[in-house]
Amino acid sequence: MERATYIIVLALYLAALAWIGIITGRRTKNTADYAIGGRSVGPWVTALSFVAAYFSSVLIIGGGGFGYKFGMATLWIGAVNVLVGCFICWIVLGKRVRLFSERLGVMTISGLFKERYDSPESRVFSAAIIFLFLIIYNVSVLKGMANAMEVLMDMPYWAGVALSGLIIVFYVAIGGYLAVVWTSFLQAWVMIFGLVLLTVFSLGAVGGLSSLHLRLAEIDPGLLSTPGTWGWAGLISFCLVVSLGTWGMPQLVIRFYSIKDTRMLRVGTVVVTIGACVALLPYLNGAIARVLYPSLESPDLAIPTLTRGVLSPIWGAVFLAGVIAAGMSTFAGVLIIISSSLVKDILEKGLSVSLEPARELRITRWISAGVGLVSLLIALRPPALILVLTAFSWAVIASTNLWPLLFGIYWKRASRGGAFASMVAGASTALLWTALENPFGVHGFIAGTAVGLGVIVLVSLMTKRPSDEIVRRAWGSGE
């Protein structure tokens, strides 16, 4: 009966996503619609799709694992996600990214680098990094969804990968960006409701916050203090990776390209900040699981085990849908970014292939489907190398894109040489630092972005400044 309940709820949910893909597919007429929704998306949909794409199944399952292992100090991660990853990100990047992308006539983050810096090499390098490391990230997202189905539904791992992966490929290939943001809008509500539901029942099972604190202290007093058993280096590094790192993640930045009007960003900033508060809940629930189930084989089993223990089958199915929702929205957003970058930045611009609009849209759809299927096949039997690379895929992508994007929209002196040198230096440092197993306990993202920051400033000051024409085009007449 329990398994049947999970199957029915999940089937209805997946059917709703497929239906949204079919409906939005009818509104997708060209690649501008497919890549950025024709710049016609409202603030609520933009904000909540940002939340859903940000907090994937990896964060829900993995965040619970961190809470289980390190205790209440991990709530700081969620708090910094809300403040830096959402509120400040929207204030600093939102308006300028929206204006610059429209003035420069671009639909991808790599395209913005080319037009802002007159730098074809920056476009190709950024697109290549995005393509490689977002596929790696997609594998981890699929794995997170499949593991949740495996524990909660007794479903074979391969079936979980295939089911979730094929549904995403279907609605992304048909509906494009509009399908992604509208399904993500629905998925955000499901994810938020599921996390709140689990938290309420879990707190009841443990006897409330006071009881939780007392029982954690009995296990280890370090589970209640900051930085506790984790240490400052680990806590601060991880906070920055999953908060400041989002500023350079294309599947999140693209949300600013698509919003209908810059005036809507005010509403969107409020909505995204409130919605992102659910980021604290996986860590709290992980700490609760440490009290209720102190002998789990792996911390990553904390959230699935807690769900099965404190929720009825119907509510457990709803929470599973929330985990699947978080993963699907992230996976779908990544597919759009990869396919758009491959077609726009590498095929058309990099290789100078001329495509008619209808053929361009058709090829973009096929590439979305192809990339999704490749990710699915890798996720069926992920090699150890992929699992290792997943840990720093965000670090490499953010170290490549963060400073060229931020300086590109705020500093007129940022040059072509500075942007490209920063990309290469940041990505190389993040890769090397991680290969050395994070010396001093500092994450590769911190090392990569620190080097990238110094390089973009120094090289820009030492090389030729951008032409007046580029500055006028990017900044417009009013700035």
Among residues 59, 98, 58, the alpha carbon closest in space to that of 82 is found at 59
Q: Is 243 helix (H, G, I), strand (E, B) or coil?
A: coil
Q: How far is CA 179 from CA 71, 174, 268, in A?
A: 38, 8, 19
Token couple for 402: 């963060």
Higher pLDDT, 420 or 323: 420
Q: Could you tell me if residue 231 is left (phi over 0), alpha (psi between -120 and 50 degrees) or otherwise beta?
A: left
Token couple for 200: 């309420």
Task: Decide: 323 and 187 in contact? Cβ < 8 Å.
Answer: no
Mean pLDDT throughout 426-436?
90
Among residues 448, 331, 365, the alpha carbon closest in space to that of 399 is found at 448
Q: Global pTM?
A: 0.85
Task: Decide: 77 and 299 in contact? Cβ < 8 Å.
Answer: no
Give pLDDT, residue 324: 74
The Cα–Cα gap between 393 and 386 comes to: 10
Q: Please provide the average confidence, as pLDDT, over all residues in the chain.
A: 83
In a domain, 255, yes or no: yes
Higher pLDDT, 343 or 37: 343
Model confidence at 259: pLDDT above 70: yes
Token couple for 187: 């998925």
Give pLDDT, residue 387: 44
Q: Which long-range contacts (CB under 8 A, 24 or more apart) does 244-247 make?
A: 244/84, 244/85, 244/398, 244/402, 244/449, 245/394, 245/395, 245/398, 245/402, 245/445, 246/54, 246/85, 246/89, 246/398, 247/85, 247/89, 247/92, 247/93, 247/398, 247/402, 247/405, 247/406
Q: How far is CA 53 from CA 184, 213, 444, 446, in A?
A: 7, 32, 23, 23
Higher pLDDT, 13 or 292: 292
Higher pLDDT, 423 or 60: 423
Model confidence at 384: pLDDT above 70: no
Give pLDDT, residue 32: 57
Mean pLDDT throughout 200-228?
91
In a domain, 462, yes or no: no
Percent over 90 (pLDDT), the chain: 33
Higher pLDDT, 297 or 286: 286
Among residues 288, 280, 72, 79, the alpha carbon closest in space to that of 201 is found at 288
Give pLDDT, residue 4: 79
Q: Which range marks the domain in which residue 309 is found?
A: 2-383
Q: How far is CA 116 from CA 139, 337, 467, in A?
A: 32, 19, 10
DSSP secondary structure of 291-330: HH-TT-S-GGGHHHHHHHHHS-HHHHHHHHHHHHHHHHHH
Give pLDDT, residue 130: 86
Model confidence at 312: pLDDT above 50: yes
**Which single residue is written with the structure tokens 């964060």?**
59
Model confidence at 344: pLDDT above 80: no
In a domain, 402, yes or no: no
Give pLDDT, residue 385: 47
- Provide the CATH number for the domain around residue 366: 1.20.1730.10
Instruction: Give the count of domains, the chain.
Output: 1
Higher pLDDT, 34 or 436: 436
Lowest mean pLDDT among 104-108, 292-296, 390-394, 443-447: 390-394
In a domain, 418, yes or no: no
Task: Decide: 30 and 364 in contact? Cβ < 8 Å.
Answer: no
In a domain, 51, yes or no: yes
Token couple for 51: 């939340």
Give pLDDT, residue 34: 60
Give pLDDT, residue 470: 92
Model confidence at 424: pLDDT above 70: yes
Model confidence at 6: pLDDT above 80: no
Higher pLDDT, 5 or 466: 466
Tell me the pLDDT band of 213, cut-offs 50, 70 and 90: very high
Model confidence at 390: pLDDT above 70: no
Give pLDDT, residue 337: 75
Tell me the pLDDT band of 386, cut-offs 50, 70 and 90: very low
* Paired residues of 259 in beta bridges: 41
What digits encode the pLDDT tens for the residues 72-106? 999 999 999 999 999 999 999 999 999 998 899 88
Sign of dihedral through CA atoms 376, 377, 378, 380? positive
Tell me the pLDDT band of 65, cut-offs 50, 70 and 90: confident
The helix (run of H) or strand (run of E) holding residue 235 is: helix 232-241
Tell me the pLDDT band of 166, cut-offs 50, 70 and 90: confident
In a domain, 468, yes or no: no
In a domain, 63, yes or no: yes
The Cα–Cα gap between 280 and 171 comes to: 30
In a domain, 414, yes or no: no
H helices present in 26-108, as ranges: 31-36, 43-54, 57-70, 75-80, 89-104
